[in-house]
Structure 1
Amino acid sequence: MAFVSALLMLLPVAWSCIPQKADYVMVSCFPNAIIANVPECPYGWEIEHLSLGGVCYNGIHSPGYYRFIIPDLTPKNHSYCGTQSEYIPGKDPKYIFYNSIVSNDTSLTVRNQPVNYTFSCTYRAAYLVNNAVFSQRVATVYVNNGSLGTFRSQLSMNVFTNSKFLYAKDAPYVIDTSEIGSEVFIGIEAKGLSNRFKVVINNCWATPSPYSTDRKRWSLIIKSCSSDNTVTIFENAKDSRSMFKFNSFRFQRQEKVSTVWLHCEVQVCDGERITCQPSPCSVRSLPSDVDPNGGILTAEFHIKGRVNRGIFMTEINKE
């Protein structure tokens, strides 16, 4: 009996998680952080055997995924958990941040396929004093195991000519003051992904500055619901493209402001794992504040022409 017990101790330990063939990493590029997710138990690896940059074993187990976070993108602190950055100068300077999620097991024998999820985020870099301020027009992308991800072409927000959403207009979109109140058609599309992934618009709002955190804002979509009857959502979370329209406007008491920035907080949802469709708006109340938790896309609108006081004025705050 003692011999049998010793033999059992030498047998491979059964997996405590269900191994998955995880051949992609899901990366969200935020202005101040990068979040990378891999399906849980990739090729049989537990979360304590996966490290960020081969340095930090700081993964978090979220439903269906292992999550790794890079919370600081300051170039001076580019070495966070093995994160590396590259500055590309030119007329449109950029920063590229690189890192990877790798497997590491110190046991005598390794019975799982090694994994190395290498990913990157590319940001436009504008300079204020000596600090880099990052802007990006993307949210989430899926890249293959071991490959670098480029994000600008994966998820985009465009202005279209009409409700058929066939032809996109050139950016930045120009609105003449005589056209204030006209309909603006917005389409957000993910390219290069399989049909299982759906684009979900969570929140959209406009600001008189390029900063999405500006306290002066006008909400258009809140928790996937239209904020009022001037906003119409055509499709959301059903396919790789979500679409809506709103009536153009300008901000009150901002006569010198010739640009309005539209921000949309977007997520890419895995339809095979969870239900992507938001609950009906008629059965839930809308909060007054926007609380983004997904990647943020930004579009620029130029208001052209002279504005007279008292004309085309829009209240900023919604109660």
Structure 2
Amino acid sequence: MASFSALLLMLPVVLACSPQKADYVVVSCFPNTIIANVPECPYGWELEQLSLGGVCYTGIHSPGYYRFIIPDLTPKNHSYCGTQSEYMPGKDPKYIFYNSIVSNDTSLTVRNQPVNYTFSCMYRAAYLVNNAVFSQRVATVYVNNGSLGTFRSQLSMNVFTNSKFLYAKDAPYTIDTSEIGSEVFIGIEAKGLSNRFKVVINNCWATPTPYPTDRKRWSLIINSCPADNTVTVFDNAKDSHSTFKFNSFRFQRLEKVSTVWLHCEVQICDGERLVCEPSPCSSRSLREVDLSGGILTAEFQIKASQGSSNKGQVPGKCISTLSLLYYSQLLKGFENIKRLHLVH
């Protein structure tokens, strides 16, 4: 019996996951969502042993990472899973949101080094009576890569003049009524990160309201593939910028709706750790899947140019000219800023 026990002691311990060094963290501060990615199995901790704010065991296992999401930063839900917020008044008021990803083992003994990722996102923002409004087309991505240092990137969505994507257009961007159906060129770019990080467009769609979850929607890109032949994806997940075009349009039977919102779900992918480029569209279904990235939004406002008329309406009446402008509150130069502190 003694020899059998000794044999058991000599057998290698089978770990549920392969421990990873835990000094690599990517936190994305999207307009109304914070996404934190940590290496899978940090110091041997399983996903179900890590919690957001010490409260919510809501992590998602994505390839190479454990992902934790704070889905709502509005005041009514600012305490989601222990999230804390601080309002900093002044000429340039800001909001700071704090939370942490911590390990928790209820067993009698703890054999893994505890981890505590404390992170924060700071937003320059205008504050309305019932809502905090952040820049909808800009996000900040922050990478802490241990001894290699920390990196901050601005992720933004812009409209460009043509398919060369050299010059971004200023808001407002106006198209005459007769030009509905013309091409609109969209570029999403991350500035400030090394070439190993790729911008990935997962999904893009349009709604007649500013809410990405509106059931009235028209899909443009599904699962990184064009939804129809009016959409062309030029580059995606190859480097720090991704580009596509679509034909401008308006929603039918919604004559009183003068705005169209474009929403794109995007993410930053580490090309040295993962395969970022999607497989060819011919081998994949256009079935819509759950969102895993953050959402950037641009606003298209429908107006009529002077001198145009339709169905006997007075020339200049708001009819169906398409123009791009961002939220009026956002034209004050909002820019997401982010700060991350890693403690373990």
Q: Which string of whole-angstrom CA distances, capped at 9 and with x for unpartnered residues, describes residues 46-77 of structure 1?
A: 65765534566665555422333445545355
Amino acid across the alignment from 2:249: F
Instruction: Give unmatched runs, 5+ long, in structure 1.
Output: 315-319
Q: TM-score, normalised by structure 2?
A: 0.69
- Equivalent positions of 1:263-274 (< 5 A) are 263-274=263-274
The whole-number CA distance in structure 1 between the counterparts of 2:88 and 2:151 is: 14
State the match for 1:64 in structure 2. Answer: 64
1:293 and 2:292 are equivalent in the alignment: yes
Shift of 1:92: 8.7
Distance 1:20 1:77, change over 3 A: same
Q: Shift of residue 117 of structure 1?
A: 2.6
User: Against the structure 1 CA distance between its residues 32 and 169, is the aligned structure 2 distance closer, same or farther, given a 3 Å change threshold?
Assistant: closer
Rounded Cα–Cα distance in structure 2 between residues aligned with 1:279 and 1:59: 26
Identity %: 81
35-44 vs 54-63, which deviates more? 54-63
Q: 1:192 to 1:59 in 2, by over 3 A?
A: same
Q: Which amino acid aligns with 1:206?
A: A
- Matched with 1:279 is 279
- Alignment-derived partner of residue 75 in structure 1: 75
Gaps of at least 5 residues in structure 2 are 312-318, 323-344
1:134-283 equivalent positions in 2, closer than 5 A = 136-138=136-138, 141-144=141-144, 154-283=154-283
Q: 1: CA distance between counterparts of 2:84 and 2:92?
A: 20
Q: 1:254 to 1:35 in 2, by over 3 A?
A: same
Q: Secondary structure at the match of 1:282?
A: helix
The alignment's TM-score, normalised by the length of structure 1, stands at 0.74
| Contact in 1 for aligned 2:39/2:64 (Cα 8 Å) | yes
Corresponding position: 1:119 with 2:119: yes
Deviation at 1:296, TM superposition (A): 1.0
- Distance apart, 1:183 and its partner CA: 1.6
* Distance in 2 (alpha carbons) for counterparts of 1:58 and 1:217: 28
Which residue identity does 2:224 align to in structure 1? S
- Residue 198 and residue 229 in structure 1: after superposition, are their counterparts in 2 closer, same or farther (change >3 A)? same
Q: Are the equivalent residues in 1 in contact too, given 2:196–2:271 (CA < 8 A)?
A: yes
The count of corresponding residues between Structure 1 and Structure 2 is 308
The amino acid of 1:230's aligned partner reads T
215-224 vs 231-240, which moves further = 215-224
Higher mean alpha-carbon deviation, 87-96 vs 174-183, is at 87-96
| SS of equivalent residue, structure 2 residue 42 | coil
What is aligned with 1:317? none
Partner of 1:20: 20
Greater CA drift, 84-93 or 270-279? 84-93
Please give the root-mean-square deviation of Cα atoms over the aligned residues, in Å: 4.2
The Cα shift of 1:235 comes to 0.7
**Aligned equivalents of 2:45, 2:221: Cα separation in 1:** 40
Give, as a single letter, the amino acid of the residue that structure 1 aligns with 2:302. Answer: I
